[in-house]
Amino acid sequence: MSAKDGVTCDSCSSISHRECIENGIRVADVLSDKWRCADCQPKINIGQHLATQSHENDLPTAGNLTSAECETVSRDAVACIVVELRAQFENMMAELLLEFQSFKDEIRELRSIVGELKTDITAQKTDVAICTSNVSDLEKRTENLENYLSDQKNTVTVNELEQTVVGLKLALNDSEQEALLYDLELTGLPEQQGENLSHLVPLLATQIGVTLDEREVVSIERSGSQLLHKNTTSTAKPRRVVIRFSRRTTRDTCLRRAREARGLKSAELGPEDPPARLFLNERLTRLNRQLFAKAREACQHHKWRYCWTKGGRIYLREEEGLPANRIRTAEDLPKVFQST
């Protein structure tokens, strides 16, 4: 076998007969500078790859090509493969770039959506915090309002009770005072141990210039706790002498004459003690006596001229000819003096 008839394997350097290896393969395989025998060639060689191309039937065979033509055909085939692979690679890269660009756009859009969601969530948290604060404020205001209403209710109840008590006291005082409209009260008469006051009525009637029948006097006695001790003849302030009449007209007449007479003396009524000035006035309840004392002090302080009682009622007047002001409670005094 001559050198022209043999082909050397580039991998294992074995020699094969040209006619033996040309059956079933292309000339480009045989004429390749890196030809490999059947034992060394890969499972898919260049000939098999060219068989999948659309122009495989157009390639010439080894039987009708020269050596130079075969070499040219081999180079052209390899160039075509390279061009096609490069085109496929470029297409693949372009598709990948498009995919990556699309993926980046989607990621960017997703980030934008996530950012908007974060903003919405932050706004929702702020709104929830504001609502929570408002609810807390409303709860506090409601609690304060409930406490205020409760206090007001209790205050109103207490005020109503106080007003009711004051009204009842006034009504009771008026009722007690009405029961005393038949009584006169003599103050300043010295008190003696074992004294008999029954003889006092005719003497008093004579001194004030009133004709008085003893039957018109129901009773005469001292009022209050006894201050005179058995072992002494001295007393502190003498107790008041209370005279009760059977008729109110008689009582009013005696009171009017006593106020006109003025200057009553105890010596004219018979007591042996040093003479004292006497006062005959309406008998007042304990509450009215205290109120009358406060009214006289207020009149002296504000330089009002008149303070008197009539029918158990207390009146004030600043000057002659001015209207009289009735006093029922101590709270009336500031109102009367402030109004002038």
Name the least confident of 51-55, 169-173, 205-209: 51-55
- Crossing angle of the two packed helices 200-208 and 248-261, in degrees rounded to 10: 60
Which range is least confidently modeled, 55-69, 91-105, 175-189, 229-243?
55-69
Lowest mean pLDDT among 2-11, 123-132, 244-253, 268-277: 2-11
* pLDDT value at 63 more than 60: no
Cβ within 8 Å of residue 205, ≥6 positions away:
211, 212, 254
For the domain with range 181-283, which CATH number is right: 2.40.128.30, 3.40.50.880, 2.40.128.130, 3.30.70.1820? 3.30.70.1820
pLDDT at 176 over 60: yes
Tell me what the pLDDT averaged over the chain comes to. 80
The residue ranking higher by pLDDT, 224 or 52, is 224
Report whether pLDDT(269) > 80: no
Mean pLDDT confidence for 221-237: 65
Asked if residue 37 has pLDDT above 50, the reply is yes
Q: What is the pLDDT of residue 24?
A: 42
Band of the pLDDT at 119, cuts 50, 70, 90? very high
Contacts of 71 (CB under 8 A, 6+ apart): 31
At 303, give phi and psi (nearest 5°): 60, 45
Domain ranges for the chain: 3-65, 97-179, 181-283, 284-340
The mean pLDDT value for 229-257 works out to 81
The predicted structure's pLDDT at residue 160: 82
> Which is more confident, 156 or 121?
121
Structure tokens that stand for 116 in this block: 């908007």
Across 197-276, the runs of DSSP E, i.e. the strands, are 217-223, 240-245, 264-265
Across 56-70, 74-88, 111-125, the highest mean pLDDT is recorded for 111-125
Q: Stretch 9-32: mean pLDDT, rounded?
A: 57
The whole-number pLDDT of residue 50 equals: 42
Mean pLDDT, range 267-281, rounded to an integer: 75
Position 207 pLDDT exceeds 80: yes
Residue 323, pLDDT above cutoff 70: yes
Query: What is the model's pLDDT at position 17?
Result: 59
Confidence of residue 327 (pLDDT cuts 50, 70, 90): very high
Helix (H) or strand (E) run with residue 63 in it: none
pLDDT at 283: 94
What is the predicted pLDDT for the residue at 70? 64
Give, to the nearest 10 degrees, the angle between helix 286-302 and helix 67-179: 100
Type of residue numbered 264: L
Over pLDDT 90: what percentage of the chain?
Answer: 44
More confident residue, 254 or 52: 254
Q: b/e map of 221-250 (b: 16 or more CB within 10 Å)?
A: ebeeeeebeeeeeebeebbbbbbebeeeeb
How many angstroms separate the Cα of 142 from the Cα of each of 147, 151, 153, 160, 231?
A: 8, 14, 16, 26, 74
Query: Which residue(s) pair with 34 in the sheet?
Result: none
Number of helices (H), then strands (E), belonging to the chain: the values are 8, 10
Q: β-strand 6-8 against 15-17: which pairing, if any?
A: antiparallel
Residues in the chain: 340
DSSP state of 222: E
DSSP secondary structure string for all residues of 293-329 = HHHHHHHHHHT--EEEEETTEEEEESSTTSPPEEE-S
Is 46 within 8 Å of 34 (Cβ atoms)?
no
pTM given for the model: 0.53
DSSP string, 259-283: HHH--EEGGGG--SSPP-EEEEEE-
Q: Which residue has the higher pLDDT, 156 or 203?
A: 203
* Structure-model confidence comparison of residues 330 and 229, the more confident one: 330
List the end-to-end C-alpha distance of the chain, in Å, as a whole number: 161
How far CA 154 is from CA of 80, 84, 142, 149, in Å, comes to 108, 102, 18, 8
Return left, alpha or beta for 268; rule: phi > 0 is left, psi -120 to 50 is alpha, else beta: alpha
